[in-house]
Amino acid sequence: MPKPERKNGGKLAEISGVLPKHKLGPFVPQKQSTLFLALICAVVSALYIWGYAHRELTSATQTATVVLVLSVGVMGGSLLVGILYALLRGERIKDETDFYEALLNAQSDLGEGLIIMEEDRIIYANDACHTISGYTSEEFSAMPSFLLIVVPEQRATLAERLRKRIQGEVVEEQYETAILHKDGRRVDLEISIKKFNVKNAVRLVVIARDISERKKIDNAKNEFVSWVSHQLRTPLTASNFLAEMLLAGDDGKLTIEQTRSIEKIYDANQRMISLINSLLNVARIELGTLVVECSPTNLAEISNSVLDVLRPQIEIKNLNVQRIYDREMPLVNTDPNLVLMIFQNLLSNAVKYTNKGDITVSIKRSAQNVLISITDTGMGIPKRDQENIFGKLFRATNVLTKEIEGTGLGLYIIKAIVELFEGGIWFDSEEEKGTTFYISLPLKQNCCSLREPNFL
């Protein structure tokens, strides 16, 4: 594809709304100061000459002539200074324009698309945008909205993010989306959005990077992980079944030592199955093959079922569990299996990382949403780790030092599920005092519109 002629420099003033301002040095005054200084020089010179001429010149006509000539000379000199300043300033602005144009061209040469928008209308697009999308800067400028080239399933989400960014709300600064190339193919992008104001007008800067190849590699990796996990799960399921039979005494009574050995095998097998299930879920999420089947769901029943499974661990640690359920909570149209995964991850973490104290589970209705919170009095999350806590395979440093088992996938998975349901997840935590995770889910979910987790 031929590369279009660069046209960045011609629009620099239009983009910024005002050219960059820089001082031109201590010996070049500003425009207003130059005119004022010229006036002062003329007045002072005239008064000085008048005093001198009054002593030396006898003719009033001669005196007036001298004053006039010298005053005009002073004003002329000041005017020359002003003209020189204007010329220097104009040359400096041209240099600055060339400098910023060079920066824009360098960014384009690095393959980063740069778009400047007024609301959702594009007013500038660099050359890299043409390479990424197939559209020229003129075609971008003619578009009524940038959202027209965004893939249909992500337009509403991106529009909401743009709205929040314009209104100054806190949103993630970098995320992934996809557009439709001019030739019709899908292009995956990683974009960053920043807001700035020019003469009371709000504008957005969008930096876009083509990550299509990276996504292909990631998808191939995920497909491989999914295949390997399936191959591993089959023999593990068989060995798990045999261990259960032996512990149940179906093949004869075991000695105490034999029972302990089989229990160790069984526990290790369960951990492997749990890890493989997590890897499979991650692969399904990232490949967009996670199955969503919604039905009227009782969230309190799901919470209670998970707490029943965790009861032996809760009793060993002598933890106090409080359940605060809204009695008027309606059934929620959602996928019970995915909601079960949310409760399993959050409650098992609360029990795992709490050695003494309380665990509180709250389910309340809030307007058109349901708010779930799970609070513990456990280890807490160190402040330096909090921004990465939802990352894939990430585990907090205080957990690693105590060698507590875990995969670092649980929170990554439930965040993806919550975003799939168009909900939100956040937390408050203080090290050595405990953590509260909050989840907000819409009461009415249109499951027909749910396809794959949104990583925007």
Query: End-to-end distance of the chain based on CA atoms, in angstroms?
Result: 29
User: Given a cut of 60, is residue 15 above it in pLDDT?
Assistant: no
Q: Which residue, 369, 306, 293, is CA-closest to 341?
A: 306
Q: Which residue, 426, 360, 359, 418, is CA-closest to 389?
A: 426
Listed range (35-49, 97-111, 269-283, 348-362) with the worst mean pLDDT: 35-49
Question: Partners of 369 in the beta sheet?
Answer: 366, 442
How far is Cα 41 from Cα 75, in angstroms, rounded to an integer? 8
How far is Cα 381 from Cα 359, in angstroms, rounded to an integer? 16
Give 19-42 pLDDT, tens digit per residue. 344 333 333 344 455 555 555 555
Using DSSP's 3-state secondary structure scheme, residue 241 falls into helix
Question: Partners of 196 in the beta sheet?
Answer: 203
Give 109-156 pLDDT, tens digit per residue. 677 888 888 877 888 888 888 889 999 888 888 888 888 899 998 888
Give 390-448 pLDDT, tens digit per residue. 988 788 887 877 767 777 888 988 998 998 888 899 999 999 899 999 999 988 765 54
Do residues 394 and 408 touch, judged by C-beta distance below 8 A?
A: yes
CATH class, 214-287 region: mainly alpha
Residues of the chain with CATH 3.30.565.10: 295-449
Q: Which residue has the higher pLDDT, 303 or 167?
A: 303
Residues of the chain with CATH 1.10.287: 214-287
Give 290-332 pLDDT, tens digit per residue. 778 888 899 999 999 999 989 999 999 999 999 999 988 888 8
How far is Cα 401 from Cα 414, in angstroms, rounded to an integer? 24
Angle (nearest 5°) at CA 81 between 80 and 87: 90
Q: Residue 296: which H helix or E strand, with range?
A: strand 295-297
Average predicted confidence (pLDDT) for the chain:
76
Residues of the chain with CATH 3.30.450.20: 110-210
> Among the CATH numbers 2.60.40.650, 3.40.640.10, 2.40.50.140, 3.30.565.10, which is that of 295-449?
3.30.565.10
How far is Cα 326 from Cα 355, in angstroms, rounded to an integer? 28
Q: Give the rounded percent of residues in the chain with a pLDDT score beyond 70.
A: 71
Whether the CA torsion 266, 269, 275, 276 is positive or negative: it is: negative
Neighbours of 322 (CB within 10 A): 10
This model's pTM is above 0.85: no
Using only C-alpha atoms, the chain has a radius of gyration, in whole angstroms, of: 35
How far is Cα 395 from Cα 389, in angstroms, rounded to an integer? 7
State how far Cα 378 lies from the chain centre. 29
Q: Which CATH superfamily is domain 110-210 in?
A: PAS domain (3.30.450.20)
